[in-house]
């Protein structure tokens, strides 16, 4: 049993008193207020008692109660009542009183706040007529209440009025030696002031509590950052770094392709989940894999790691066949078309792949078939017969998505072959009632078909051994570990690796020659084949687990395929493959408050981002700022505008621009001589500390958290300029002018550091800053080495280039227009609810069924027109316009809808509102 306490924390006084009074054996550990002892609480909570079972108690009253019980004194109902009263009534008042007395210096008002509870206590004691709260002997209630009140009641400066019974009781408990000695330990004889550091970390108490009251807007981190104290040694170290200057080590050379693992270097292979080719990626896809992987890769290259970043489009599978049918093209042509679309989107977002390939290549067939034969030879494949639906009319087995029918569970009439959209249950296609082929609407028949399964249960032990090692040594995100664990906990089952499809890697086994590999088996092999298309020496990366660290980036839905299924394929193939060392999975990014949906036209898709006129770097910044790291997050237009205007424009951009402008305007474009004073040294140490945090976080792929430290630095910088006012000093005497020079010089060097730290996030802006500052190329590699060193890279006399603003304001009307444009049918106004059928949702069937006259381009324009007309009608209704006017506009709206329906290939009757459709 172990008790964790911190000095100056009044709650710890309770438990220490209880410990002394009961004499229970328990080791006591003093920790900082900020220490998070209880693993499941996100805020530091002390005291905490680690129980023999491994569980933590985190409530001081529960701890006291427990200590009393194990010493043989059970808590009576009367005791319970006092403890509950202490927690619900006395504590809120005490907290407020202590806050006033300790932090606000308003000791005189303390008695007002405590009047009520003290009166209640006094009356109860005098009515009871007993020496202690619950009787003749000291109970847990006495110890808890006494300890809670000790800080205020023992302070003689507090005139708390006459509470005769309270005073008598208080003195009686205080005469128990162990109580006072506990108080001494916690308050260190400093009285109320002994609690100052604790109270500073508490949120300001609210006068009236409750769910509906606004949370107090105090800034809990205030003071923590501004006052971060550095020791003399730390300051000296910062100065030493600063004066080191740029390293003379050879400049980071340009990449020489092909990049291959090198002896003695950190060799890192980065993959981003392969985006599926049949659709345009949305922002959630982009942040989840390619953008996150890009930031990390850029960072890794800056750190001097030998790094290869590959990705490509995943092109085989049913969905491609669907799309081909829909667009009247061959699957290959569809892949060619969309591969180009993907390439251009990623290019626009400045995703710096070393190679962006695709899965429909000969190498893919070669490698997939090799892995297949190895698994076969090693006995990890088993045969089984599967019942499947076959459409006689279309002459083929129907993949799950090609069948629709009545859900066997909830009777929903449009359940898909793999899942019901209404009840969410997974369905085996043969269980569907009244199944229909989605292409020709005929009833399919059940046929059995022979398939091959990967024998996952046979590989389970091997997998677990590897996972144990990889997850403990590598940086796996929590969700990746959890999802993997849950898969293993449920037990692995054999997984079918073959499909009755045309568009896929052919199964080379003669008994299965009509079949192709299932996409989950095939797609991850794409990483290998794409690398093989990049270099013939691909095996140096993929069959080299001792030299290579593999990072997989993905969204969480992809985790099991990378942590369980694909590793099993590779382990079973037994060819010394490189398995994933660090699995980095994001949560989901939502759009405003809904999901991205292509079919509903909701959200921003990769190809549209550039049409917004907002630069790619700003998109990158915002997406990384809201990266769903650890929890889901949401893209919001208003927030994007806010972050652009507050963080990029007013914080980061403003600081860098001011620093540069001072050099240009006050010092003819040359960095002035700097004579560092104590304040400057503190700033150097602070900036150096932020840089080190940034590096620690980036090394652990905490991309969003690291970004905050960049913004912190420019905040410190702005404050520094604001306090030192170089624009005033420059007009003063020599000393003042010297001061202006130092401040300007330090600031412009911080700007240079910022450009380096920004490089992975905003490559173009970063380059622009360095161009404006005319910064030497070597500043990049120097500052990001080791733990991170903030050096003076622009020395006195250095001539900078032309400085100009980096960011533009995003205006409210501009954002409003964008929000409208990408909101799809999700009209944000409340009016929408009064007219639910105003805009029929285009059925998802549009994506599949080909009808003459379908014109997606026109449909897009019409959708927009319908939405605008709908708004107009609602506005008129809201204004109570004349009926004739409304009728005319409604007629127009109906006509537009009819045209839209035709353009989408549906019957022009208004479609009934359907359930949510899969994108």
Partner 1 sequence: MALRELSSLEKYLGLKKPNKYSTQGDKKVPVLQNNNGPPMLGLATIACHLAKEAKRPELLGDTAESRAVVQQWLEYRVTKLDSCTKEDIKFILKDLNLYLQDKVYLAGNRFTVADTLMYYGIHPLIVDLAIQEKEQYVNVTRWFDHIQHYPGVRHHLPPVVVLKNRIYTSRHH
- Residue choice 588, 679, 801, 871 for contact with partner 1 (CB under 8 A): 588
- Beta partners for 633? 589
Q: Which is nearer to partner 1, 560 or 801 (CB)?
A: 560
String marking each residue 537-576 x if it binds partner 1 according to CB under 8 A: -------------------xx--xx---------------
- Residue choice 4, 6, 16, 66 for contact with partner 1 (CB under 8 A): 66
Q: Does 489 bind partner 1 (CB under 8 A)?
A: no
Q: Which is nearer to partner 1, 212 or 678 (CB)?
A: 212
**What is the distance of C-alpha 500 from the center of its chain?**
39
Q: Which is nearer to partner 1, 61 or 718 (CB)?
A: 61
Please list every residue from 746 through 805 that binds partner 1, using CB under 8 A: none
Q: Does 342 bind partner 1 (CB under 8 A)?
A: no
Calpha distance 842→844 (Å, rounded): 6
Calpha distance 669→795 (Å, rounded): 13
Please list every residue from 647 through 706 that binds partner 1, using CB under 8 A: none
Q: E strands within 724-800?
A: none
Return all residues near 93 (Cβ < 8 A) that are at least 6 apart.
113, 114, 116, 117
**Segment interacting with partner 1 (CB under 8 A) among 63-71, 173-181, 284-292, 872-880:** 63-71
Q: Which is nearer to partner 1, 39 or 836 (CB)?
A: 39
Q: Does 126 bind partner 1 (CB under 8 A)?
A: no
- Least distance between partner 1 and beta carbon 107 (Å): 26
What values do phi and psi take at 854, rounded to 5? -70, 130
Q: Does 385 bind partner 1 (CB under 8 A)?
A: no
String marking each residue 275-314 x if it binds partner 1 according to CB under 8 A: -x--------------------------------------
Residue with tokens 């909701």: 602
Give yes or no for a contact between 420 and 410, defined as CB atoms under 8 angstroms apart: yes
String marking each residue 604-643 x if it binds partner 1 according to CB under 8 A: ---------------------------xx-----------
Handedness of CA 259, 261, 265, 266 (dihedral sign): positive
Give yes or no for a contact between 467 and 486, defined as CB atoms under 8 angstroms apart: no
Calpha distance 336→339 (Å, rounded): 5
Size of the site for partner 1 (CB under 8 A): 62
Structure tokens at 638: 């208003």
Q: Does 377 bind partner 1 (CB under 8 A)?
A: no
Q: Which is nearer to partner 1, 57 or 101 (CB)?
A: 57
Give yes or no for a contact between 169 and 175, defined as CB atoms under 8 angstroms apart: no
Q: Does 263 bind partner 1 (CB under 8 A)?
A: no
Q: Does 918 bind partner 1 (CB under 8 A)?
A: yes
Give yes or no for a contact between 633 and 587, defined as CB atoms under 8 angstroms apart: yes
Q: Does 59 bind partner 1 (CB under 8 A)?
A: yes
- Tell me the Ramachandran region of residue 690: left when phi exceeds 0, alpha when psi lies from -120 to 50, beta otherwise: alpha
Q: Does 105 bind partner 1 (CB under 8 A)?
A: no
Handedness of CA 28, 30, 33, 37 (dihedral sign): negative
Please list every residue from 207 through 236 that binds partner 1, using CB under 8 A: 209-211, 213-215
Please list every residue from 10 through 49 that binds partner 1, using CB under 8 A: 39-43
Q: Does 81 bind partner 1 (CB under 8 A)?
A: yes
Residue with tokens 């910088």: 717
Distance (Å) of CA 190 to CA 86, 98, 113, 142, 151 = 24, 14, 23, 23, 10
Q: Does 590 bind partner 1 (CB under 8 A)?
A: yes
- Least distance between partner 1 and beta carbon 57 (Å): 6
- Least distance between partner 1 and beta carbon 34 (Å): 16
- Least distance between partner 1 and beta carbon 541 (Å): 25
Q: Which is nearer to partner 1, 426 or 884 (CB)?
A: 426
Calpha distance 827→648 (Å, rounded): 30
- Beta partners for 670? 799
Q: Which is nearer to partner 1, 633 or 747 (CB)?
A: 633
- Least distance between partner 1 and beta carbon 588 (Å): 7
Q: Provide the H-helix boundaries in 129-228.
A: 140-153, 164-174, 177-187, 196-200
Give yes or no for a contact between 202 and 46, defined as CB atoms under 8 angstroms apart: no
Q: Does 586 bind partner 1 (CB under 8 A)?
A: no
3-state secondary structure of 406: strand
Q: Does 206 bind partner 1 (CB under 8 A)?
A: yes
Q: Which is nearer to partner 1, 478 or 678 (CB)?
A: 478
Q: Which is nearer to partner 1, 65 or 301 (CB)?
A: 65
Q: Does 485 bind partner 1 (CB under 8 A)?
A: no
Give yes or no for a contact between 6 and 198, defined as CB atoms under 8 angstroms apart: yes
Q: Does 335 bind partner 1 (CB under 8 A)?
A: no
Q: Does 520 bind partner 1 (CB under 8 A)?
A: yes
Burial level of 479, CB count in 10 A (0-12/13-18/19+)?
A: buried
Residue 830's Cβ-side half-sphere holds a number of Cα atoms within 13 Å equal to: 1
Q: Does 483 bind partner 1 (CB under 8 A)?
A: yes
- Residue choice 73, 111, 378, 419 for contact with partner 1 (CB under 8 A): 419
Q: Does 58 bind partner 1 (CB under 8 A)?
A: yes
Residue with tokens 């001061």: 739
Selection from 612, 637, 742, 757 nearest residue 697 by Cα: 757
Calpha distance 209→408 (Å, rounded): 50
Distance (Å) of CA 765 to CA 362, 618, 641, 762, 809 = 40, 9, 18, 6, 15
- Least distance between partner 1 and beta carbon 388 (Å): 14
**Segment interacting with partner 1 (CB under 8 A) among 19-27, 59-67, 147-155, 792-800:** 59-67
Binding site for partner 1 (CB under 8 A): 39-43, 51-53, 55, 57-59, 61-63, 65-66, 69-70, 75, 77, 80-81, 83-85, 87-88, 91-92, 206, 209-211, 213-215, 276, 317, 319, 400-401, 416, 418-419, 424-426, 483, 519-520, 556-557, 560-561, 587-588, 590, 593, 631-632, 918
């Amino acid at each position: 049993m172990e008790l964790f306490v911190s000095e100056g924390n009044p709650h710890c006084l309770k438990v220490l008193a209880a410990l002394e009074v009961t004499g229970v054996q328990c080791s006591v550990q003093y920790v900082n207020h900020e220490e998070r002892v209880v693993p499941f609480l996100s805020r530091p909570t002390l005291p905490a008692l680690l129980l023999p079972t491994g569980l933590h108690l985190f409530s001081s009253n529960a701890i006291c109660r427990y200590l009393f019980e194990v010493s043989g004194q059970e808590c009576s109902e009367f005791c319970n009542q006092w403890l509950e009263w202490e927690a619900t009534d006395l504590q809120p008042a005490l907290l407020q009183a202590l806050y006033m007395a300790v932090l606000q210096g308003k000791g005189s008002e303390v008695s007002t706040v405590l009047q009520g509870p003290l009166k209640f206590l006094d009356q109860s004691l005098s009515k009871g007529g007993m020496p202690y709260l619950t009787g003749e002997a000291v109970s847990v209630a006495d110890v808890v209440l006494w300890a809670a009140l000790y800080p205020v009641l023992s302070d003689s400066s507090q005139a708390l009025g006459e509470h005769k019974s309270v005073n008598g009781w208080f003195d009686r408990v205080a005469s128990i030696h162990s109580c006072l000695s506990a108080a001494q330990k916690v308050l260190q004889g400093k009285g109320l002031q002994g609690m100052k550091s604790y109270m500073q970390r508490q949120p300001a108490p609210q006068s009236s509590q409750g769910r509906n009251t606004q949370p107090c807007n105090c800034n809990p981190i205030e003071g923590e950052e501004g006052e971060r104290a550095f020791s003399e040694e730390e300051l000296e170290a910062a100065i030493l770094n600063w004066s080191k200057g740029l390293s003379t080590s050879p400049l980071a050379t340009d990449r020489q392709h092909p990049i291959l693992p090198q002896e003695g270097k950190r060799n890192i292979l980065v993959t981003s989940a392969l985006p599926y080719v049949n659709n345009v990626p949305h922002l959630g896809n982009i942040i989840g894999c390619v953008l996150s992987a890009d930031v990390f890769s850029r960072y890794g290259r800056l750190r001097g790691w030998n790094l290869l970043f590959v990705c490509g489009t995943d092109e085989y599978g049913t969905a491609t066949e669907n799309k081909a049918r829909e667009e009247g093209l061959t699957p290959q042509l569809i892949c060619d078309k969309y591969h180009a679309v993907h390439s251009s989107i990623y290019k626009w977002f400045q995703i710096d792949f070393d190679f962006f390939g695709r899965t429909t290549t000969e190498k893919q067939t070669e490698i997939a078939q090799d892995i297949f034969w190895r698994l076969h030879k090693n006995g990890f494949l088993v045969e089984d017969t599967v019942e499947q639906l076959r459409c006689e009319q279309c002459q083929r087995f129907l993949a799950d998505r090609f069948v629709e029918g009545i859900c066997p569970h909830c009777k929903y009439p449009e359940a898909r072959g793999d899942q019901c959209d209404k009840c969410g249950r997974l369905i085996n296609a043969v269980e569907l009632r009244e199944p229909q082929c989605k292409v020709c609407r005929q009833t399919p028949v059940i046929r059995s078909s022979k398939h091959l399964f990967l024998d996952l249960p046979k590989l389970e032990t091997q997998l677990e051994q590897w996972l144990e090692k990889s997850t403990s040594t590598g940086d796996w995100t929590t969700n990746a570990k959890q999802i993997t664990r849950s898969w293993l906990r449920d037990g692995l089952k054999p997984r079918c690796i073959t499909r009755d499809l045309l568009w896929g890697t052919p199964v080379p086994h003669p008994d299965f020659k009509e079949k192709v590999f299932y996409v989950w088996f095939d797609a991850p092999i794409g990483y290998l084949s794409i690398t093989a298309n990049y270099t013939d020496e691909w095996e140096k990366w993929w069959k080299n687990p001792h030299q290579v660290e593999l990072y997989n980036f993905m969204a969480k839905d992809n985790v099991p395929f990378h942590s369980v299924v694909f590793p099993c394929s590779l382990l079973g193939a037994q060819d010394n493959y490189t398995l994933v060392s660090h699995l980095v999975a994001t949560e989901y990014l939502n759009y405003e408050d809904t999901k991205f949906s292509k079919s509903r036209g909701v959200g921003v898709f990769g190809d549209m981002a550039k049409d917004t006129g907002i630069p790619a770097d700003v998109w990158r910044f915002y997406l990384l700022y809201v990266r769903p790291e650890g929890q889901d997050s949401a893209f919001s237009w208003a927030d994007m505008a806010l972050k652009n205007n507050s963080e990029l424009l007013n914080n980061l951009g403003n600081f860098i621009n001011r620093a540069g402008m001072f050099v240009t305007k006050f010092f003819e474009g040359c960095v002035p001589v700097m004579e560092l004073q104590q304040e400057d040294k503190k700033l150097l140490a602070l900036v150096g500390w932020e840089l080190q945090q940034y590096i620690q976080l980036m090394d652990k792929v905490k991309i969003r958290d690291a970004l905050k430290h960049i913004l912190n630095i420019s905040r410190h910088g702005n404050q520094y300029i604001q306090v030192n006012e170089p624009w005033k000093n420059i007009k003063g005497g020599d000393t003042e002018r010297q001061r202006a020079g130092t401040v300007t010089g330090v600031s412009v060097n911080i700007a240079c550091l910022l450009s380096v730290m920004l490089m992975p996030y905003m490559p173009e802006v970063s380059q622009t800053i360095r161009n404006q500052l005319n910064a030497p190329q070597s500043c990049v590699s120097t500052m990001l080495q080791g733990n991170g060193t903030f050096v003076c890279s622009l020395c006195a006399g250095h001539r900078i280039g032309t400085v100009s603003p980096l960011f533009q304001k995003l205006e409210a009307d501009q954002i409003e227009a964008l929000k409208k444009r990408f909101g799809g049918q999700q009209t944000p106004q409340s009016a929408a609810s009064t007219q639910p059928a105003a805009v029929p949702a285009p059925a998802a069937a549009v994506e599949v069924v080909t009808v003459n006259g379908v014109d997606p381009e026109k449909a897009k324009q019409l959708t927009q027109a319908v939405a605008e007309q709908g708004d107009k009608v609602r506005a008129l209704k809201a204004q109570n316009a004349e009926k004739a006017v409304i009728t005319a506009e409604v007629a127009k709206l109906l006509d537009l809808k009819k045209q839209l329906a035709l353009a989408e290939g549906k019957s022009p009757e208004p479609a009934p509102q359907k359930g949510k459709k899969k994108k």
